[in-house]
Amino acid sequence: MSKKKTYIPTDKMSDIICDNYSLLQVMSRFGLPLGFGDYTVEEVCQSNQVDCLTFLEVANFINTHYPRTYTPSEKISIPSLMGYLKNAHHYFLDFQLPSIRRKLLEAIDCSTDNEVTFLILKFFDSYVQEVHRHMNYEDMYVFTYVENLLKGVKDEAYNIDMFVRHHDHIDEKLTELKNSIIKYYPDSRKTYVMNAVLFDIFNCEKDLASHNLVEDCLFVPAVLRLECEVANQANTYNQLEQTSSDKVEKSASDELSLREKEIITCVVKGLSNKEIAEHLFISVHTVITHRRNIARKLKIHSPTLLTVYAIVNKLVDISEVKLNI
């Protein structure tokens, strides 16, 4: 097999679609419409407000047959990729699987009393329910978790690793159904119709496997990175909080701070709380808090004794003192 090329932003959109028609699905799930003329991938993405890098990451991952060693770009847009995955869910649940069921009903020979046809339909219906559960879980829990993470809010009871551990391959049961039909389906006059359904099941199976791989190999690494970023931000914030609270505690238990000494100087010069606040560019509330701390630290509540303390400790010259005895 010849090595598949990697698409770049300046490639024409029509060229990459003709090169690999399965990218039509990628286009529609990113919300890119047909009718793009001779525009490049970058131009088509730009005019539809789609993140070009993320579109190309998905397109190249699929086009190069999901290499195990694929290292996704760190610049993948998670909202963009999530939009792609949500649209894929909508496609499978509301279009592709109902369409296969309709065709399956048409193909199955209901006029004959055959248990195999009945069991095939039953198997398909229970499979569809399973796909609903799988995708509804991702829509309701995983994507909601990631949306909150994007806002910097981490649900401590959940992480993307939990999703990875329970992420089953929903395409596998479709493989079983396809194989059962091929091997055991009774002779029928509607072979063409059944073959057409099989063709759709083959495509759907491949599409679902591709969807799962995009989740495992592109989405999960991007979310892991986001989790680290949010955790780092939280650590930095906690460290800052700790430093600041350490300072407050130190200031609350140790010697007078520079600011408190300034407040004492102002007080003994006869300035009111409002004047001190204006002089030091702080609020009156902060002045009152400082004064309360000073009183507690020095165990001095009288302005006169505070003046004595200021003179003895050379915070002011006696000539600057205004006594309010």
Minimum Å gap between C-beta 139 and Fe ion is 8
Nearer to Fe ion by C-beta: 7 or 163?
163
Minimum Å gap between C-beta 277 and Fe ion is 58
* Region of 109-117, 135-143, 266-274, 281-289 interacting with Fe ion (CB under 5 A): 135-143
Interface map 265-304 toward Fe ion (x if CB under 5 A):
----------------------------------------
Nearer to Fe ion by C-beta: 205 or 215?
215
* Region of 54-62, 122-130, 193-201, 207-215 interacting with Fe ion (CB under 5 A): 207-215
* Region of 115-123, 209-217, 220-228, 279-287 interacting with Fe ion (CB under 5 A): 209-217
Number of residues that bind Fe ion (CB under 5 A): 2
* Region of 121-129, 139-147, 208-216, 223-231 interacting with Fe ion (CB under 5 A): 208-216
Contacts of 259 (CB under 8 A, 6+ apart): 280, 290
| Interface with Fe ion, residue 207, by CB under 5 A | no
Minimum Å gap between C-beta 75 and Fe ion is 22
Nearer to Fe ion by C-beta: 57 or 215?
215
Interface map 60-79 toward Fe ion (x if CB under 5 A):
--------------------
* Region of 64-72, 118-126, 213-221, 291-299 interacting with Fe ion (CB under 5 A): 213-221
| Interface with Fe ion, residue 138, by CB under 5 A | yes
Nearer to Fe ion by C-beta: 51 or 215?
215
What's the rounded Cα separation, in Å, for the pair 314 and 297? 18
Contact 81, 223 (CB under 8 A): no
| 142-201: contacts with Fe ion (CB under 5 A) | none
Minimum Å gap between C-beta 215 and Fe ion is 5
Minimum Å gap between C-beta 163 and Fe ion is 9
Q: What is the 3-state secondary structure (H, E, C) of the chain?
A: CCCCCCCCCCCEHHHHHHHCCCHHHHHHHCCCCCCCCCCEHHHHHHHCCCCHHHHHHHHHHHHCCCCCCCCCCCCCCHHHHHHHHHHHHHHHHHHHHHHHHHHHHHHCCCCCCCHHHHHHHHHHHHHHHHHHHHHHHHHHHHHHHHHHHHCCCCCCCCCHHHHHHHCCCCHHHHHHHHHHHHHHCCCCCCHHHHHHHHHHHHHHHHHHHHHHHHHHHHHHHHHHHHHHHHHHHHHHHHHHHHHHHHHHHHHHHCCCCHHHHHHHHHHHCCCCHHHHHHHHCCCHHHHHHHHHHHHHHHCCCCHHHHHHHHHHCCCCCHHHCCCCC
Interface map 80-119 toward Fe ion (x if CB under 5 A):
----------------------------------------
Contact 44, 19 (CB under 8 A): no
Minimum Å gap between C-beta 120 and Fe ion is 25
| Interface with Fe ion, residue 57, by CB under 5 A | no
Cα torsion angle, 212, 217, 218, 223, sign: positive
Residues that bind Fe ion (CB under 5 A): 138, 215
